[in-house]
Amino acid sequence: MGWTNPRVIGAIGGGALLLLAFGIIETKVEDPMFRLPLFRIRAFAAGNLAGFLGALSRGGLQFMLIIWLQGIWLPRHGYSFEQTPLWAGIYMVPLTVGFLVAGPAAGILSDRFGARPFATLGMLLTAFTFGLLELLPVNFNYGYFAFVLLLMGLAMGLFASPNRAAIMNSLPPEERGAGSGMTTTFQNSATVLSIGIFFTVITLGLAASMPTHLYAGLTAHGVSSAAAHQVAGLPPIGVLFASFLGFNPIQQLLGPSGALQHLTAQQASVLTGHEFFPQLISTPFAQGIHYAFDFAIACSLVAAAASWMRGKKYVYQQGPLSSEVEVGLIDETDLALPALDAGPTGPQAAVVTDRRPVAHRDRARSNPTAPPRPPRSG
Task: Report how far residue 221's alpha carbon sits from residue 72's, in angstroms, rounded to the nearest whole number.
Answer: 20
- Tell me the pLDDT band of 344, cut-offs 50, 70 and 90: very low
Task: Report how far residue 244's alpha carbon sits from residue 88's, in angstroms, rounded to the nearest whole number.
Answer: 10
Judged by average pLDDT, the poorest of 15-19, 20-24, 112-116, 348-352 is 348-352
Is 295 within a domain? no
Structure confidence at residue 292 (pLDDT): 87
Q: What is the mean pLDDT of the chain?
A: 79
Burial zone of 241 (CB within 10 Å; 0-12 exposed, 13-18 middle, 19+ buried): middle
Query: What residue numbers bound the domain in which 266 lies?
Result: 209-283
331 and 272 fall within a common domain: no
Can you tell me whether residue 248 is helix, strand or coil? coil
Is 162 within a domain? no
Determine the number of helices (DSSP H) and then strands (DSSP E) in the chain. 16, 2
Is 321 within a domain? yes
Structure confidence at residue 21 (pLDDT): 94
Is 168 within a domain? no
Structure confidence at residue 317 (pLDDT): 66
- Please compute the mean of the pLDDT values over residues 352-367 and round it to a whole number: 43
More confident site: 14 or 174 = 14
What b/e readout covers 101-129, taking b as 16+ CB neighbours within 10 angstroms?
Answer: ebbeebbebbeeebbbbbbbbbbbbbbeb
266 and 330 fall within a common domain: no
More confident site: 130 or 374 = 130
More confident site: 239 or 308 = 308
Calculate the CA 93 to chain-centre distance: 17
Is 251 within a domain? yes
Structure confidence at residue 356 (pLDDT): 40
Structure confidence at residue 353 (pLDDT): 38
Is 266 within a domain? yes
- pLDDT of 354 higher than 50: no
Q: DSSP state, 350?
A: E
- Tell me the pLDDT band of 254, cut-offs 50, 70 and 90: confident
DSSP strand pairing (315-317 vs 348-350): antiparallel
- pLDDT of 342 higher than 70: no
Structure confidence at residue 261 (pLDDT): 73
Total domains present in the chain = 2
- Tell me the pLDDT band of 84, cut-offs 50, 70 and 90: confident
The Cβ-side half-sphere exposure at 370, using a 13 Å CA radius, reads 11
| Most confident listed range (116-120, 174-178, 326-330) | 116-120
- At which of 283, 306, 332 does a domain end? 283
Task: Report how far residue 50's alpha carbon sits from residue 44's, in angstroms, rounded to the nearest whole number.
Answer: 10
CB 167 within 8 A of CB 49: no
Burial zone of 46 (CB within 10 Å; 0-12 exposed, 13-18 middle, 19+ buried): buried
Is 246 within a domain? yes
272 and 325 fall within a common domain: no
What b/e readout covers 134-171, taking b as 16+ CB neighbours within 10 angstroms?
Answer: eebebeeeeeebbebbbbbbbbbbbbbbbbbbbbbbbb
- Tell me the pLDDT band of 314, cut-offs 50, 70 and 90: low
CB 208 within 8 A of CB 284: yes
Task: Report how far residue 98's alpha carbon sits from residue 134's, in angstroms, rounded to the nearest whole number.
Answer: 20
Structure confidence at residue 255 (pLDDT): 67
- Tell me the pLDDT band of 331, cut-offs 50, 70 and 90: very low
pTM: 0.74
- pLDDT of 178 higher than 80: yes
Is 340 within a domain? yes
- Please compute the mean of the pLDDT values over residues 238-250 and round it to a whole number: 72
CB 179 within 8 A of CB 44: yes
Structure confidence at residue 210 (pLDDT): 80
Judged by average pLDDT, the poorest of 61-65, 123-127, 146-150, 327-331 is 327-331
